[in-house]
């Protein structure tokens, strides 16, 4: 149970250093201010998260993001950090025309915000990098086995040391 009490807090001062009557303020205990708003269920799409239509323009999306950011900012709503970050991500995607087009295609294919498919699509850019790294590792292992443990550098030094005809 939280308690909220109205009682005088210190003695106030007027401009010029003259003493004034004590001001009454409401002092809210730390426990009462730490109570977070109940977190609503996660929105199914980024459009629902920002509460805009799929046909919304850039100005509407920006205004909706600002509303969501003010509502879910961790300083204003202690339990809203996840929602704030989700709203920021939604704004970043929906405000960029190319990323928004890709997101709309994913929505039509059945992927939703927070689905494994959506996360996999975001991670897809790493697949090429991982494939290249794996290929380099296999080629390096093949050369070591074929050339008797010689490295590229040792082969280049040998080639430079041999006189050319």
Q: What is the 3-state secondary structure (H, E, C) of 31-66?
A: HHHCCCCCCCCCCCCHHHHHCCCCCCCHHHHHHHHH
| Alpha-carbon span 154 to 23, nearest angstrom | 83
Pick 5 or 96 by higher pLDDT: 96
Q: Using an 8 Å Cβ cutoff, are 58 and 96 in contact?
A: no
Using the predicted structure, report yes or no on whether residue 45 has a pLDDT greater than 60: yes
112 band by pLDDT with thresholds 50, 70 and 90: low
Using the predicted structure, report yes or no on whether residue 3 has a pLDDT greater than 80: no
In this structure, what are the phi and psi dihedrals at residue 80, rounded to the nearest 5 degrees?
-100, 15
Q: Using an 8 Å Cβ cutoff, are 32 and 49 in contact?
A: no
DSSP letter for 19, please. Answer: B
| Alpha-carbon span 45 to 113, nearest angstrom | 5
Domain edges within the chain: 46-142
In this structure, what are the phi and psi dihedrals at residue 25, rounded to the nearest 5 degrees?
-130, 155
Closest CA to 43 of 13, 61, 68, 74: 68
CATH number belonging to the domain at 46-142, selected among 1.20.1340.10, 1.10.287.110, 3.40.228.10, 1.10.10.10? 1.10.287.110
Q: Using an 8 Å Cβ cutoff, are 38 and 64 in contact?
A: no
Using the predicted structure, report yes or no on whether residue 92 has a pLDDT greater than 80: yes
> How much is the pTM?
0.46
């Amino acid at each position: 149970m939280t308690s909220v009490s109205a009682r005088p807090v210190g003695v106030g001062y007027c401009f010029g250093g003259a003493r004034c009557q004590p001001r009454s303020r409401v002092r809210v205990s730390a426990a009462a201010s730490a109570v977070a708003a109940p977190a609503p269920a996660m929105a199914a799409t980024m459009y629902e998260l920002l509460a805009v239509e799929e046909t919304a323009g850039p100005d509407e999306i920006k205004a909706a993001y600002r509303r969501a950011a003010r509502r879910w900012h961790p300083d204003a709503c202690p339990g809203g950090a996840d929602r704030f970050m989700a709203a920021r991500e939604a704004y970043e995607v929906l405000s960029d025309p190319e990323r928004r087009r890709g997101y709309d295609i994913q929505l039509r294919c059945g992927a939703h915000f927070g689905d494994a498919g959506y996360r996999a699509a975001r991670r897809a850019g790493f697949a090429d990098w991982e494939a290249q790294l794996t290929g380099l590792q296999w080629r390096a292992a093949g050369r070591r086995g074929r050339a008797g443990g010689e490295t590229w550098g040792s082969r280049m030094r040998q080639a430079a040391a041999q006189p050319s005809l």
